[in-house]
Amino acid sequence: MIPLNADLNKDLAKFSKKTYRIDRSGDLPLEFEGWQIASGECGDANDPKDWDRFTIVDLYVTTSRKFVATVAKGSREGRTLTFAFHDDSMDTVLDWCRETNHGRLGPATRLMLNEADRAGIAWLRTATVERI
């Protein structure tokens, strides 16, 4: 959860705030204002231009202090399925990411989390590690 005392404008100043519209497969589009703070992508080959299948995971923070994750899975044939989930808790968003990948965080999600961690936002860092 984003602390109420977090200064979103200060923490997210390095990102561009804009209005996003996510067209979800089999669901209503999701529209919000906020910041895209991380992205991860992977495919079935080393070079992206050789990918037959791919996964892209994006992470956003909305102006209403919610986390939004999108997962796009596609193939060279042009079939792409896009799913999105939003919640106040980054942990809940990560649980949803696990559900989209058979109970584990996939490579694209892990790449997205690494990028989010490098963003250096203190309140986000606590969500990008597993606590035991």
- Note down pLDDT in tens along the chain; length 132 residues: 666 666 666 778 788 899 999 999 999 999 999 999 999 998 887 777 778 888 999 999 999 889 999 999 888 787 788 999 999 888 888 889 888 888 888 999 988 888 887 877 666 666 656 666
How many CB atoms neighbour CB 129 within 10 A? 9
CB 116 within 8 A of CB 37: yes
- DSSP at 66: -
Question: Which two three-digit tokens encode residue 11?
Answer: 């923490």
* Separation of alpha carbons 115 and 122, rounded Å: 14
Q: How far apart (Å, rounded) are the C-alpha atoms in residues 26 and 16? A: 29
Nearest to 85 by CA among 102, 74, 99: 99
pLDDT at 7: 66
Strand order across the 67-75 sheet: 17-22, 30-43, 53-62, 67-75, 80-87
Cα gap 71→8, rounded to integer Å: 24
pTM attached to this predicted model: 0.84
